[in-house]
Structure 1
């Protein structure tokens, strides 16, 4: 069994003459990074004209293997064998390495080779660049040692893995559908809470197409009448030099219903700023801008002396409505596109302090009971979602272990055919 460097078996980031032969107005397949997924999750439906992707994009053709180069997409094993491109040619993100197999290596066998645990582990070790923007160099691919059985054996391995990974992928797709159904159910539960189950027949109109009716004995009032809101401290030149370096929360820490305090930054907060910019248990923190605009979670006080930065709103209860009522209102409103319509989505969406305070929300008579019921339902759904995601992780590990074992020759695929995907990796 020979081992050959990949540069002798395939072209790495080659030219694509088929692209050059297109006219400027000709359409081709366009693939951004978010569309690069293995199997049937690969999205090749997008189109661009040649003139719009003539510079600043990677070019490829049918039969190429696309390998993401940037973290964390590389480590996720999202390499794909591309086929079905419009006119046989495409363009996409520059964060892709293009590997064009030669006659001595089967394209699918090559694809599985760049999805093995060994390949991903070695590639991660070769990454260069600043944290969060590290990339795998093309020299790593060129020098990659590839176990090269005869072509007939390569195809046998690829066919076996096609069958086995398809079965795993089908299970994974079922888990994704279940998670999607839970997400839809979550929004339905919140909608029921916010609307009180009111309809056109028994409720009053709100004027909001996304929440059209509420009970007749409820009110609608401005957010500022029930909550106190404050934007956090703006980053400034003294943040690293002051003598009172204290931890603060920013929008990267806040997600729906949860706050991640594992990566906390610090800056100077003077004694006079303590009341204005500190957070305490029971405060609702709301993201002011970016992709996570309006995402919100309640602070539990896990850090005694903690503050917040201007990318967040702090909301405190100032009336009968618990902050969780507003959190769920924000969750449902965002799912309905409310903040996309109100924000400046031409650049980065923002939820300004004035916008937040002026929003009108439904005011029930029994908000605490409704919030408690919703929290119980969402906790149960969250537990189920966690179990499903754990199952997804196990399936992904199983898939990679199977690929690694088959490609590295740890078992003979001709005697392993027909094994159930829930079995252990053949030995």
Structure 2
């Protein structure tokens, strides 16, 4: 038997008791505190009489309504809300169960049919599309007796907890492998930093602008995760009306630096000819006896980053923890001392790092694939259990 959801839960109901709390602090849930798979964080608070937020009560079901958080199925039961009532971002719907097991309702809202249908009824434009309260309230939910709902919820609690524990182990493995990659880089390139000549004798800043001739070149971006890449390769296309004539020219082999993120790894050696933001820095080796890939790797080591942090410029004191809007000066970077060995040694260093890092990347890819499959298994299990596609075993 199925019923419209409005018959078993109130959608966005009032919480009258909040009115009597005045400016007492209550739990506040911003969207970033609503995590996948029912996880949430409760460290935020706001005065109870703060206007303009969604209200909730302990035990309510919280459901994000905006893309892409909705599609991620970030639904949970707020049965552990630290305060009896609270506030939440307006980007969630709040459901108050009436004669239905709250955990079962939360699992229903994470089933694939609900998420798939929701994607077809999102209202809005671009990345600001939402499912409406009316759509939620008219969803058809399978309802038998509450004891069966509790049995399904208990089963899914057990099974998803097992899957989540396996996923967490793989996340830990990925984190350890990434740390290993950083350690390998530091071991190979770190000893070169802090002695020898100043880096300015090996590289120089280049400030060549696109002008009208090169303004149609590919626009490059620099990130901590990908290094230097073409925006178009990641599905980001420059508006044809945007003026890029003032952008900086990048040649293959140039080291491109995001000056606000360099000390976090926002730099890399470009394989492409293209343009980059005028706020970025472009460095080019002075002669053929310097390998720019080697230079970029050295600049990402912990010891070199420490040298950069000590030279940060911005508002506040000059240290990595208190400079606001920090920027790295390329002239300061070029003053850091680096011992540059012969070209064949540089290339050997790069080859050693790339070999060891490739092995680490392969292990990371396997772990991430395991995580992906486990997440698919969890989603399929939730759908199958709630929709009656599998028999729910009785707990021993």
Structure 2-normalised TM-score?
A: 0.81
Structure 1 residues 369-427: Cα deviation after superposition (integer angstroms, max 9, x where no partner): 33332222222211211111111110010000010011111122137x68xxxxxxxxx
Once the two structures are TM-superposed, the CA of residue 332 in structure 1 deviates from its matched residue by: 4.3
- What displacement does 1:82 show? 1.6
Asked if structure 2 preserves the Cα contact closer than 8 Å seen for 1:229 and 1:357, the reply is: no
**Which of these residues, 259, 266, 281, is aligned with residue 229 of structure 2?**
259
Deviations for 1:79-137, whole angstroms, at most 9, x for unmatched residues? 122232222333343322222212x2110000100111111111122222232222222
Query: Conserved in 2, the CA contact under 8 Å of 1:27 and 1:86?
Result: no
**CA separation in 1, counterparts of 2:389 and 2:258?**
49
Partner of residue 150 from structure 2, selected from 141, 155, 163 = 155
Could you tell me how far 1:152 is from its partner in structure 2? 1.4
Aligned to 1:107: 102
CA contact (8 A) 2:57 2:84 kept: yes
Residues in 2 aligned to 1:402 and 1:196: alpha-carbon distance in whole angstroms: 51
What is the SS of the residue equivalent to 2:71?
A: coil
Counterpart position of 1:287: 258
Question: Contact 1:29/1:86 (CA < 8 Å) preserved in 2?
Answer: yes
Give 3-state SS (helix, strand or coil) of 1:255's partner: coil
Structure 2 residue corresponding to 1:387, chosen from 357, 366, 370: 366
Aligned counterparts of 2:241 and 2:285: Cα–Cα separation in 1: 27
Tell me the secondary structure at the aligned position of residue 316 of structure 1. Answer: strand
SS in structure 1 of the partner of residue 21 of structure 2: coil
> Which of 169, 177, 193 pairs up with 1:182?
177
What's the counterpart of residue 308 of structure 1?
276
Q: Cα 1:184–1:293, aligned 2, differ >3 Å: closer, same or farther?
A: closer
2:33 is aligned to 35
Contact 1:244/1:269 (CA < 8 Å) preserved in 2? no
**The residue matched to 2:219 in structure 1 has which SS?**
strand
Which of the numbers 380, 389, 393 marks the counterpart of 1:401? 380
2:92 corresponds to 1:96? yes
Decide which moves more: 181-190 or 148-157.
181-190
Alpha carbons of structure 1 residues 182 and 141: separation in structure 2 relative to 1, 3 Å:
same
Displacement of 1:360 after TM fit? 2.1
2:70 to 37, 58, 74: 74
Cα offsets for 1:254-310 (capped at 9, x unmatched): 733462523243458999x69x84433323333344799752333323xxx633233
Q: Is the Cα–Cα contact under 8 Å of residues 340 and 349 in structure 1 kept in the other structure?
A: no
Alpha-carbon contact 2:38-2:75 (below 8 Å) kept: no
Computed over aligned residues only, the root mean square deviation of the Cα atoms, in angstroms, reads 3.8
The answer to whether residue 321 in structure 2 is matched with residue 323 in structure 1 is no
Contact map agreement 1:16 1:59 (CA 8 A) in 2: yes
Corresponding residue to 1:376 among 355, 358, 367: 355
Q: Are the structure 2 counterparts of residues 300 and 404 from structure 1 closer, same or farther at C-alpha, using a change threshold of 3 Å?
A: same
Q: In structure 2, list runs of 5 or more residues that go unmatched.
A: 316-320
- Which whole-Å CA distance do the structure 2 matches of 1:381 and 1:94 have between them? 42
Deviations 1:229-269 (A, max 9, x none): 346869xxx99xx9964432245x77334625232434589
Indicate if the aligned counterparts of 2:269 and 2:293 stay in contact, CA closer than 8 A.
yes
- For the structure 1 residues 144 and 352, does the alpha-carbon distance in structure 2 shift closer, same or farther, using more than 3 Å as the test? same
Distance 1:291 1:151 in 2: 56
8 Å Cα contact 1:288/1:294 also seen in 2: no
Q: CA separation in 1, counterparts of 2:122 and 2:333?
A: 46
Q: Deviations over 1:315-335 (max 9, x none)?
A: 322255433344335544598
Alignment of 1:331-350 (within 5 A): 331-332=300-301, 338=309, 342-343=313-314, 349=325
Sort the Cα spacing of 1:122 and 1:39 in 2 relative to 1 into closer, same or farther, 3 A.
closer
In structure 2, what is the Cα distance between the partners aligned to 1:11 and 1:339? 56
Equivalent residue number for residue 318 of structure 2: none
State the 1:162 CA deviation.
Answer: 0.9
Q: Distance in 1 between matches of 2:218 and 2:324?
A: 26
1:256/1:331 contact within 8 Å kept: no
Residue matched to 1:201: none
Give the distance between the partners of 1:335 and 1:161, measured in 2 at CA.
46
Moved more, 307-316 or 163-172: 307-316
Task: Look up the SS of the partner of 2:327 in the other structure.
Answer: coil
Q: How does 1:32-71 map to 2 (within 5 A)?
A: 32-38=30-36, 41-44=39-42, 46-50=43-47, 54-71=50-67
